[in-house]
């Protein structure tokens, strides 16, 4: 690339940063107090941790669509990596120390994921963090050569991938007769959120692990 073009790009990007910073410093006071609104409505959300309340109750749409996006991305990765994996050799067994460590850590990580899922109702934690820990366990097992690559996921695995989205959709639609989509009755909100989060944890964990297992490590 020409040197003057590079210099111009750097100059323009620096200008953008300065303009953004200047705009931030010139911002007026808040017109709407979102934290106060969240606190005021926390009692009706079914959980006592505000971030979980926003994620799964007040702004459930975001989370619902996000899970769909995650699933679509995995489908894209599957579609791209399919033909290359037909003759992929079996994973070479890793060092025995790594294998032993993975065998010890994986159940512990599943336990941590369960804890994070449960604690999400009233403290930092929840489906995303729990799913991430589950996925990390999957990646670790793959690195230790204890899991095969996912060239063609079976029915059970596909069901697990879709479970979170399906449970979430079912709960969202079930509220439709009483009010609107994603409207939980106050008395059942806590239980419904836990149900949705349990499904999400499994599906997010499988999907994130699948993003690694489907493409990465398929050819080695």
What residues line the site for another protein (CB under 8 A)?
1, 6, 9-10, 13-14, 16-17, 20-21, 24-25, 27, 29-30, 34-35, 38, 50-51, 53-55, 58-59, 62-63, 66, 69-70, 72-74, 76-77, 80-81, 84, 116, 124-126, 128-129, 132-133, 135-136, 139, 143, 204, 208, 211-212, 214-217, 219-220
Residue 191 CB, nearest approach to another protein (Å): 21
C-beta closer to another protein: residue 79 or 176: 79
C-beta closer to another protein: residue 22 or 177: 22
Record the tokens describing residue 130, joined without a space: 């729990």
For residues 35 and 42, is the Cβ–Cβ distance under 8 A?
no
Residue 60 CB, nearest approach to another protein (Å): 10
Residue 177 CB, nearest approach to another protein (Å): 27
Residue 9 CB, nearest approach to another protein (Å): 5
CB-based contacts of 110: which residues, under 8 Å, 6+ apart? Answer: 134, 137
Rg (C-alpha) for the chain, rounded Å, is 22
C-beta closer to another protein: residue 171 or 204: 204
- Among 210, 179, 201, 212, residue whose Cα is nearest residue 67: 201
C-beta closer to another protein: residue 140 or 192: 140
Residue 44 CB, nearest approach to another protein (Å): 15
**Strand, coil or helix: 1:** coil
- Among 201, 19, 215, residue whose Cα is nearest residue 115: 201
- Among 110, 113, 111, 126, residue whose Cα is nearest residue 194: 126
Residue 176 CB, nearest approach to another protein (Å): 23
Cα(70)–Cα(165) distance, integer angstroms = 10
C-beta closer to another protein: residue 160 or 205: 205
CB-based contacts of 162: which residues, under 8 Å, 6+ apart? Answer: 71, 203
Cα(213)–Cα(190) distance, integer angstroms = 34
C-beta closer to another protein: residue 56 or 198: 56
């Amino acid at each position: 690339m020409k040197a003057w073009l590079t210099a111009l790009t750097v100059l323009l990007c620096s200008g953008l940063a300065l303009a953004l910073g200047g705009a931030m410093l010139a911002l007026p006071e808040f017109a709407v107090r979102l934290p106060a609104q969240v606190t005021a409505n926390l009692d009706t959300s079914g959980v006592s941790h505000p971030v979980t309340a926003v994620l799964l109750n007040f702004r459930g749409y975001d989370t619902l669509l996000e899970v769909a996006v995650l699933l679509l991305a995995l489908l894209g990765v599957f579609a791209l990596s399919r033909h290359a994996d037909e003759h992929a050799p079996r994973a070479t067994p890793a060092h025995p120390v790594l294998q032993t460590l993975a065998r010890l850590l994986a159940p512990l990580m599943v336990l941590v994921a369960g804890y994070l899922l449960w604690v999400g109702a009233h403290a930092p934690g929840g489906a995303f963090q729990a799913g991430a820990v589950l996925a990390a366990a999957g990646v670790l097992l793959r690195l230790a050569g204890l899991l095969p690559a996912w060239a063609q996921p079976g029915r059970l695995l596909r069901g697990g991938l879709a479970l979170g989205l399906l449970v979430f959709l079912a709960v969202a639609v079930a509220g439709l007769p009483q009010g609107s989509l994603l409207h939980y009755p106050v008395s059942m909100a806590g239980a419904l959120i836990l149900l949705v989060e349990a499904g999400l944890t499994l599906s997010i964990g499988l999907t994130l692990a699948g993003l690694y297992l489907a493409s990465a490590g398929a050819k080695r």
